[in-house]
Structure 1
Amino acid sequence: MSSTQVRPNYSFRSQKLHIITLAALGVVFGDIGTSPLYALKECFSPEHGIAFSPDAVLGIISMLFWSITIVVSLKYVLFVMRADNNGEGGVLALMALSLRTAVSGSPRAKLLMMLGVFGACMFYGDVVITPAISVLSAVEGMDIAAPGTSHYVIPLTLVILIGLFLIQRHGTNLVGKLFGPIMFLWFISLGALGLYHILKAPDILVAINPYYAVHFMIEHSLQAFIVLGSVVLVLTGAEALYADMGHFGIRPIRFAWLYTVMPCLVINYFGQGANLLSNPEAIKNPFYLMVPDMLLVPMVVLATFATVIASQAVISGAFSLTSQAILLGFVPRMRILHTSEDERGQIYIPLINWMLLVLVVAVVLAFKKSDNLAAAYGVAVTTTMVITTMLAAVVMRAEWKWHPVLVTLVIGAFITVDLAFFTANLLKIADGGWFPLLLGGAAFFLLMTWYSGRMLLRTRIKDDGIPLEPFVEGLLAHPPHRVGGTAVFMTGNINTVPVALLHNLKHNRILHERVFFLKISIWDVPFVADEERLTLKDLGGNVYLLRAAFGFKEAPEMHKVLDLTAAQFGMEFDLMDTSFFLARDTVVPSKLLGMSLWREQLFAWMYQNGAKPSDFFHIPANRVVELGTKVEI
């Protein structure tokens, strides 16, 4: 496979840095940007057993500051974002990079693949929890602005969330243009509120000294370890900086983080700490009780908008991740709708949307308060953080060729911090941490069942297949009756005869005037250049073997293949004179070597209920001929 690929021509690539940075603010930083609503409040949860004192405030604020600095600024922004797959980031892109360092099919390759897939699955836990905890924490401010309205919190939260999922099918292009300015206003408001309280109690600034974090952890070792499970809430959304790199590029994301997001977040956390030093009663809700009374209602409204934006970002991320997983062969084909004519990355997957809606509503009704959701949130975040660090270590050593000592020092420091957060959150499994683990584990099981089943199916078809080129030579030596038009036979293996052709010859006893065997491959890069997309081999007698390659962030649509074939090879296609032949396999579980029988039955059910290849590849329905066959696995 060639490594020379191209990036898509996004409309904002030529725009000025500050315009792209503003757009990134609205998409990338919504999750981490709404953490001040609940992070510090959860750190001082009575369940942690930490007595409120000025020393505790300084220690926890210092822990928050250095967690943001080490994990986000150093780990993600400085190191991990360098590991891009032709400009794309995220755990699946990192997995693809690490897999290039291992022999295909080897135990090392399988381990790396499973790590990457599990990291992606844990993201789904984040997608379910983020809308619930973010919107709940924002709406809970209503009870402070108007005491006695707490019974409206859950109904209003559900209305907002249901409305958000209902508009997904219309796309977010129009609303998305407002996201950047709103989030910029949100971050400026965070910074202004924090600065206001820091000026009233500047003593809080001494917490910049890591001594206070270390001293707190030594003096309150057990409680401090437990608090780490809540400190990690300031890091929620850090993975989004890496995952959304392909949309905006490294420089705008780094610019937005270093010059807007991080300063405003840090100032706000220090401001919350300063307010606690002056007013210990504010521990009930450190964020909203730092807001002046006259600004409380506008701040609740702005916070609600910010949390809706944060929720939209992770929902869109779930659509994007699912699309990538489908193309990489880990998820059955699903109906994918493109909601923008200009931006191919804006997609909508109905099945995922409604599944997420049901899960998010169930989570809100089950947990009821943002405090109760905090435990569940940390487990999802820290698991993905650990996996990202492990895969990054492989890339640093094997792909970048860094010296082992340097890799050990860098990764050793990061993995120590990650594991500290991870193990602290394991203490919360009984309090809700089980939920993302259950959700991620179920998703991982389904994805690996689908992947393993596809490999078994491919092996069975290959073993039972007839070599293609000798068959074509014999067929052309004694050809059946040839009819006008073009036949395109979709195939998953270029070395064997498509089952659809065998059935067509058996039942219809004809061969079209022009025949194409078409294999569509998905490469482990996000985008493939048009000049490298197609390869054509003439098998003689107007019979051709055509291969089309797509990246895992592209839409493998048939019209692209036909148009490019006409442009590059001068072979025009008249759709009214072209038939597309597909084999509709019926998977039959058996006692042959493979998966356990019940997993094979599950795979068979998933296979039969997946989207049809004709729909997935956007083949005109009236030009499709499906021929069925049974395959035992």
Structure 2
Amino acid sequence: MSLAVEAPASHQSSHPALIGLTIGAIGVVFGDIGTSPLYAFREALQQSAADGIDPSEILGVLSLALWTLTLIVTVKYVLFLMRADNHGEGGVLALAALARRSLGMRSRVALVLGAAGAALFYGDAIITPSLSVLSAMEGLRTIPSAAKFFDEGTIRALTIAILVALFFIQRRGTAIVAKLFGPVCILWFLTIGGLGIWHIADEPSIFRVLLPHYGIRFLATHGTVGLFVLGAVFLTVTGAEALTADMGHFGKKPIRIAWLILVFPALMLNYLGQGAFALSHLEAAQAAGTAFKNQDWFFLMAPESVRGPLIVLAGFATVIASQAVITGAFSLTQQAVQLGLLPRMKLRQTSADFAGQIYLPAINWLLLVGVLILIIQFKTSSAMAAAYGIAVTGTMVVTTLLGYLVARHVWHWKRAWALAAILPFLCLDLVFFGANILRVVEGGWVPLVIAASIGLLIYTWVRGKGIVRAFEARQSIPLADLAAALAKRPPERVPGTAVFLTANPRSAPGALLHNLKHNKVLHERNLVVSIRTTDRPVVDAEHRRTSERLDDNFEIVVLNYGFMESPDVPADLGVGGKTEMRSLDAMKTSFFIGRNTLKPEADVGMPLWQDRIFMFMQRNAADPTEFLKIPPGKVLELGEQVTV
């Protein structure tokens, strides 16, 4: 995710631009869902294999898998949820921001849903690289001549080496190799589709599973086992969230074309081929009077002579899928910081050409630690698969609920129509979520613990910042009143411009009051600057800055940024600018920032343990001067003690 930038709308209709964006979407958007055939059918079949497998179970599992792909991805995402976008941007936080704008005073609901979806996504971001790359490397055991060299420990070590290298190159950026993502993934989808077609010939009647009654009958006759199978079947649609999350980078049309023309047919054909291959093996086992064994059907479909190159291609495809999720975590974190859900983090742009190419060291290393713990703890992809579904289904439930809010309050659908459109999807999501909850003991607790931890951090940060803001509001005085008092009794004036950064430009910033109290001076020109994050992903230059002159001493400036942008305060204030209207002399401009010292107190504000978490987050937040791109030598920090 976030590896490319959408071309201007005026150029999207041209064939070269559309083809380029479609190829890019194939590489970035569908990397995760495209590698699901490595493990999804195998794991779903394994859930019903405890007491042996008969042909009806293979047909039932396969029918459930194909209809899950059709209903969840094609109908829900491609045809419906991709219509819900925030000025072209999608994803859980983009939808939450869009819903908040329309809900007004009730926007807390959308904020909570957005935070929950973001928290669940981090679980997905840790599990996807672990599971996908490990699944690809396990294919080495299907080569008889190589199996003796690649035991379980060796495969784990190889997987860890690949993923450590992947996380280490993040700081250098991936713009150069990103150009290969599309072609490699096109080759991947053509390959898996071709393998499927080849093995459909083993059992041409396999197409009967396109009738939904095979799946329905399986669920009706298998009780609790059917629910466990349903939870594993959901692995076929992991990565579907990327269809909406990456809309802003490629546009709806290229993503829809890529899905309908290449990705969906290739996945369907591959699963049909795996099902036909499994059926032919079952028939051979029954004829020989031997027990049927569930196997690594994906790799076994390929002849042994080409299995090695297929494993290499699968390795590249899973690394691409992992890269997309890692970059998606960077992008989501940037949005969360801009929306005030998380503290500022050190961020670096790694490409001059791609706006989505960003690197957050803290998130990168935390993800790597999580990935390594998962691989060492679970050891195999089969053990890890149980942990995957809950994170994905939980995020999908949140997205569907936000889709309802958008339909009801943004599109202004009547409640009956909105419910009629959303309820079937919500029921489907809840069924899958319930099926995955059954696997909590097997490993489903992992994403729940991750999501709960992230959710606690978000809640603590939002609540702590609210307490600090309330304290500042109690201590502040209206800027207009201060301006009037200073007009009557002018303080000593010093040359230059002072920029006071504050959350509320109508109140006198604390740094301004401290400067007057202790230094007893006022600059010739004083800008009270507030930075606001809008519910749009990007704010154009025309609407970036609004200003209001209060009197001869003070000017109020509001800088507006989208939730996918990084602030650049000096540039947008015109420091060192060429035009007379917007220029500020860089040598004569000083920036004043309020920085309060936090003091924990058990009987005030939050509980003591939560105070300490908030203080830790505050201490480790990125320096505001770096985050706002203010030259360090031009900043003065003033503040006081605040009890939280």
Comparing 523-532 and 173-182, the one that deviates more? 523-532
Partner of 2:147: 147
Task: Check conservation: 1:480, 1:510, Cα contact below 8 A.
Answer: yes
Q: 1:583-625 CA deviation, whole Å, 9 max, x = no partner?
A: 1111223356532232123212211221121111010011111
Q: Which runs of 5+ in 1 are unaligned?
A: 1-5
Distance 1:567 1:68, change over 3 A: farther
Q: What does 1:284-299 correspond to in 2, within 5 Å?
A: 284-299=295-310
Question: Under a length normalisation based on structure 2, what TM-score does the superposition of the two structures give?
Answer: 0.94
Secondary structure in structure 1 of the residue aligned to 2:535: coil
**Residues 580 and 625, structure 1, Cα contact 8 Å, conserved in 2:** yes
Q: What is the aligned counterpart of 1:111 among 109, 112, 122?
A: 109
| Conserved 8 A contact 1:518-1:546 | yes
| 1:346-389, Cα deviation, whole Å (9 max, x unpaired) | 10000110111111011100000000011100111111111111
More displaced 10-residue stretch of structure 1: 171-180 or 607-616: 607-616
**Distance of aligned partners of 1:452 and 1:565 in 2 relative to their CA distance in 1, 3 Å threshold:** farther
Give the conservation status (yes or no) of the 8 Å contact 1:489–1:582: yes
* Residue deviations 1:300-331 (CA, integer Å, cap 9, x gap): 00000000000000000000000000000010
Q: Partners in 1 of 2:223 and 2:280 — Cα distance?
A: 26
Q: 2:531 aligns with which of 505, 514, 520?
A: 520
Contact 1:7/1:87, CA 8 A, preserved across alignment:
no
Residue aligning to 2:43: 42
* Structure 2 residue identity aligned to 1:128: I
Aligned-partner Cα distance in 2 for 1:314–1:62: 28
- Correspondence 1:478 to 2:480: no
Q: Does 1:619 align with 2:620?
A: no
Distance 1:35 1:50, change over 3 A: farther
Cα distance in 2, alignment partners of residues 9 and 486 from structure 1: 38
Residues 593, 12 of structure 1: alpha-carbon distance in 2 compared, 3 angstrom cutoff: farther
Distance in 1, matches of 2:404 and 2:579, equals: 42
Give SS of 1:335's match: coil
Equivalent position to 2:406, from 379, 391, 395: 395
Structure 2 residue matching 1:361: 3-state secondary structure: helix
What's 1:604 paired with?
615
Whole-angstrom distance in 2 between the partners of 1:293 and 1:242: 38
What residue number does 2:267 align with? 265
CA deviations on 1:191-247 (whole Å, 9 max, x unpaired) are 000000112321111111112111222222332121001000001000111111111
The verdict on how the C-alpha distance between 1:11 and 1:303 changes in structure 2, with shifts beyond 3 A counting, is farther
1:493 aligns to 2:504 (yes or no): yes
8 Å CA contact 1:581–1:624 kept in 2: the answer is yes
1:357 paired residue among 368, 380, 389: 368
Q: What amino acid maps onto 1:137 in structure 2?
A: S
Aligned residue for 1:127? 125
Out of 305, 315, 326, which is 1:304 matched to? Answer: 315
**Deviation by residue 1:506-565 (Cα, 9 ceiling, x = unmatched):** 222221111111111111211112111111111222421111010000111123312399
Structure 1: distance between partners of 2:642 and 2:468: 7
Q: Which runs of 5+ in 2 are unaligned?
A: 283-291
Distance 2:487 2:50 in 1: 82
Match of 1:186 among 185, 188, 196: 188
The Cα shift of 1:628 comes to 3.1
Structure 2 CA distance for aligned equivalents of residues 495 and 632 of structure 1: 24
2:289 — aligned with what? none
Shift in Å, 1:48: 5.7
C-alpha contact 1:44 1:50 (8 A) present in aligned 2: no
Q: Which residue of 2 aligns with 1:170?
A: 172
Provide closer, same or farther for how the CA distance between residues 598 and 532 of structure 1 changes in structure 2, counting only shifts above 3 A.
same
- 1:446–1:323 Cα change, 3 Å: same
SS at 1:619's partner residue?
coil
What's the C-alpha RMSD, in Å, of the aligned pairs? 1.9
Verify the 8 A CA contact 2:119 2:455 in the aligned structure 1.
yes
SS at match of 1:237: coil
* Counterpart amino acid of residue 75 in structure 2: L
Amino acid aligned to 1:495 = R
Distance 1:568 1:545 in 2: 19
Please name the residue that 1:203 is paired with: 205
What is the alpha-carbon distance in structure 2 between the residues aligned to residue 565 and residue 329 of structure 1?
A: 29
Q: What letter is aligned with 1:245?
A: M
Query: 2:286: which partner in 1?
Result: none
Q: What secondary structure is seen at the aligned counterpart in 1 of 2:639? A: strand
| Residue 279 of structure 2: aligned partner | 277
* Counterpart-to-counterpart distance in 2, 1:564 and 1:177: 36
The count of corresponding residues between Structure 1 and Structure 2 is 625
Instruction: Give the stretch that moved more between structures: 484-493 or 317-326.
Output: 484-493
Q: In 2 relative to 1, CA 469–625 (structure 1 residues): closer, same or farther, beyond 3 Å?
A: same
Q: CA deviation at 1:402?
A: 2.1
Tell me whether 597-606 or 451-460 shows the greater mean CA deviation: 597-606
Residue identity opposite 2:251 in structure 1: G
- The residue type equivalent to 1:390 in the other structure is L
Native 8 Å contact 1:57 1:273 kept in 2: yes
Are the aligned partners of 2:575 and 2:583 in contact in 1 as well (CA < 8 Å)? no
Distance 1:628 1:406, change over 3 A: closer
Give the Cα separation in 2 of the matches to 1:91 and 1:230.
24
1:330 equivalent to 2:324? Answer no
Q: Which residue is 2:103 aligned to? A: 102
Give the structure 2 partner of residue 3 of structure 1.
Answer: none
Partner SS, residue 640 of structure 2: strand
Structure 2 counterpart of 1:52: 53
Q: Measure the CA separation in 2 of the matches of 1:626 and 1:414.
A: 51
| Counterpart contact for 1:330–1:451, Cα < 8 Å | yes
Query: Structure 1: how far apart are the matches of 2:51 and 2:102?
Result: 47
Q: How does 1:348-387 map to 2 (within 5 A)?
A: 348-387=359-398
SS in 1 for 2:606: coil
CA contact (8 A) 1:276 1:286 kept: yes
Asked if 1:420 is matched to 2:431, the reply is: yes
| Contact 2:48–2:225, Cα closer than 8 Å, also in 1 | no
How far does the alpha carbon of each residue in 1:420-473 deviate from its partner, in whole angstroms, 9 at most, with x for none? Answer: 111111110001000000000000010111011111111110121011011012
Residue 551 of structure 2 corresponds to 540
Given that 1:139 and 1:156 are in contact with CA atoms closer than 8 Å, whether structure 2 keeps it comes out as yes
Q: Separation in 1 of the partners of 2:275 and 2:93?
A: 38
CA distance in 1, matches of 2:84, 2:553: 45
> What is the match of residue 135 of structure 2?
137
Distance in 2, Cα, partners of 1:60 & 1:45 = 10
CA contact (8 A) 1:48 1:227 kept: no
Could you give the per-residue CA deviations for residues 87-111 of structure 1, whole angstroms, max 9, x where no partner exists? 100011111222233233x4xx323
Distance in 1, Cα, partners of 2:11 & 2:294: 43
Q: Percent identity?
A: 46
Opposite residue 164 of structure 1, the aligned amino acid is L
Higher mean displacement: 88-97 or 12-21: 12-21
**Contact 1:48–1:226 (Cα < 8 Å) also in 2:** no
The alignment partner of 2:141 has SS state of: helix
Query: 2:47–2:228: 8 Å Cα contact kept in structure 1?
Result: no
Structure 2 residue aligned with 1:531: 542
* Secondary structure of the structure 1 residue equivalent to 2:413: coil
Alignment check: 8 A CA contact 1:340 1:346 kept: yes
| Distance in 1 (alpha carbons) for counterparts of 2:322 and 2:202 | 34
> Secondary structure, in 3 states, of the residue corresponding to 1:68?
helix
Pick closer, same or farther for the CA change 1:219–1:571 going to 2, 3 Å.
closer
Tell me the TM-score normalised to structure 1 length.
0.95
1:61-93, CA deviations, whole angstroms, 9 ceiling, x for partnerless residues?
111111011000000111111110111000111
1:242 to 238, 241, 244: 244
Quick one: which amino acid aligns to residue 368 of structure 2?
Answer: L
